[in-house]
Amino acid sequence: MQKIVSFSKRRGFIFLSSEIYGGFSSCYDFGPLGVELKNNIKKAWWDEMIKKHDDIVGLDASILMNPKVWKASGHLTAGFADELVECKRCHHRFRKDFLKKNKCPDCGGELTKPHKFNLMMKTFVGPVEDEAAETYLRAETCQGIYVNFKNVLQSMRQKLPFGIAQIGKAFRNEINPKDFIYRTREFEQMEMQWFCRSKEAPKFFNYWKKERMNWYLSLGIKKANLRAVEVPKQELPHYAKRAVDIQYKFPFGWQEIEGIHNRGDWDLSNHSKHSNEDFKYEGYFPYVIETSVGVDRSLFAFLCDAYQEVKGGRTKTTKAVKEVEILLKLDKSLSPIKVAVLPLVKNKPKLTKKAKEVYQMLKPYFMTQYDEVGSIGRRYRRQDEVGTIFAITVDFDTLEKNDLTVRDRDTMKQERVKIKNLTSFLKEKLEK
Ligand code: GAP
């Protein structure tokens, strides 16, 4: 775990938010490579939902909503709260279900009786900070989907069954945020709500569970590190009739990265009750099967799964023999950088000029990096570390023959390719 955390910082994936001020409340920032990886994960999910399925459409609802939404959804009641205990001596607060013993893990002091702590994050809208201006940052993105159910149904002339997908930020005032980016107070979700007839809900539940498991596997997650676990009845969220957690085997154990929920007609019927809108379709409330992924959690899982340490180095050359080399074996669609262009040596102007021309040629098509610092072996290793799929070397033969060496990250095989064919060669290789 510590290795992943320091690697993420060193190579520009994830930084502590407001680090110069000592950080803030378990918030994190995604660095130049982190944001590429995050965008690639979101694109992979969006393509999977929207491009692969004719009957799913997208939405981008606002984070701030009328507070009545959260009353109707049940998030302001005990259902969306964790049990909090406080140490009578040091006054530190803890989530009761995270404690191994019934005493303060920080000072050993006696704990108070648990009370319910609501996770909604309050804020004020407008210039007056009174009760009338109070609302909440959304705790799940899907409420924006439910309140737009009719808008989408009518504007897109949808018929049941169909789905609405959305990606966006969500906020929860977690009592004990922990495990790096695993549990934070600000995070991003990718949620799809599938509206169907109640009779068909069990069938679609199983369909989506399978689809979602396959999505992770298709993006390279190892089968041994992924499992689906039925949530026991007594632990179901307040809105769910049935739930399955998709879990990943993190360095700190098996933990949820996605929830598959049968929400029944909980949301549509409650919003109908609390608003003036009738969300019935052909006389009944549709059921909802939901797939809900945390972007940050899945990114963390993809990072952990791809991270490899190769003792003695990948090439086993004498120089590398004592070193541990890192290889980030991300799927090619997820890797932040697809291509690196490397002049064989730095101090030959003809070589660097040519290499920069090749870099400029590829940049519009692929996320490309130019690197001339250090030995060629060291530069290959730097690229392997961040999962770059192809490293291209411009050498003296390039100047004569207009071809160059393309090195494959996984096989380390090198191939000569003509510059005029390079873009189409890479496009073909990088396509699924
Ligand atoms: N709309 C349903 C819903 O929000 P959830 O199981 O509470 O269900 C879904 O959350 C996913 O959102 C989780 O599987 C997780 O990936 C992510 N998530 C939830 N709370 C989180 C937190 N505090 N930090 C990071 N990700 C979180």
pLDDT surpassing 80 at residue 107? yes
Flag the least confident range among 178-187, 284-293, 319-328, 367-376. Answer: 319-328
CA distance 262 to 125: 33
pLDDT surpassing 70 at residue 316? no
Q: Quick check: CB of 174 below 6 Å from ligand 1?
A: yes
Residue to probe by mutation, ligand 1, list 138, 297, 298, 302, most atoms within 8 Å of CB = 297
Q: pLDDT of 21-69, one tens digit each? A: 999 988 999 999 999 999 999 999 999 999 999 999 999 999 999 999 9
Q: Quick check: CB of 138 below 6 Å from ligand 1?
A: no
Q: Quick check: CB of 183 below 6 Å from ligand 1?
A: yes
Q: Quick check: CB of 291 below 6 Å from ligand 1?
A: no
CA distance 67 to 86: 29
Place of tokens 């799809």: 192
pLDDT surpassing 70 at residue 318? no
Return the pLDDT at 313. 83
Reference 176, options 96, 235, 245; nearest CA is 96
Whether a cis peptide bond, with omega within 30° of 0, leads into 232 is: no
Give me the mean pLDDT over the 357-386 stretch. Answer: 97
Flag the least confident range among 6-15, 310-319, 403-412. Answer: 310-319
For 113, list phi and psi in degrees, rounded to 5.
-70, 150
DSSP H stretches of helix in 260-375 = 266-274, 295-306, 349-362
Q: pLDDT of 182-222, one tens digit each? A: 999 999 999 999 999 999 999 999 999 999 999 999 999 99
Return the pLDDT at 31. 98
Q: pLDDT of 230-287, one tens digit each? A: 999 999 999 999 999 999 999 999 999 999 999 999 999 999 999 989 999 999 999 9
Q: Are the C-beta atoms of residues 396 and 350 closer than 8 Å to each other?
A: no
Hey, which bits of 138-185 come out as E strands? 162-171
CA distance 210 to 224: 16
Instruction: Output the CA 403–ligand 1 centroid distance in Å.
Output: 49
Kindly indicate the confidence band of residue 319, based on its pLDDT and cuts at 50, 70 and 90. Answer: low
**pTM for the predicted model, two decimal places:** 0.96
Return the pLDDT at 274. 97
Kindly report the length of the chain: 432
CA distance 236 to 174: 18
Residues paired with residue 288 on neighbouring β-strands, in sequence order: 195, 264
CA distance 33 to 10: 11
CA distance 388 to 369: 9
Q: Quick check: CB of 341 below 6 Å from ligand 1?
A: no
CA distance 263 to 241: 6
Return the pLDDT at 322. 67
Q: pLDDT of 118-157, one tens digit each? A: 999 999 999 988 888 999 999 999 999 999 999 999 999 9
For 301, list phi and psi in degrees, rounded to 5.
-65, -45
Q: Quick check: CB of 73 below 6 Å from ligand 1?
A: no
Q: Quick check: CB of 75 below 6 Å from ligand 1?
A: no
Kindly indicate the confidence band of residue 78, based on its pLDDT and cuts at 50, 70 and 90. Answer: confident
Mean pLDDT of the chain: 96
Give me the mean pLDDT over the 84-88 stretch. Answer: 96
CA distance 72 to 307: 43
Return the pLDDT at 317. 64
Give me the mean pLDDT over the 360-366 stretch. Answer: 98
**Percent of the chain clearing pLDDT 70 (strictly above):** 98
For 365, list phi and psi in degrees, rounded to 5.
-105, -35
CA distance 415 to 266: 58
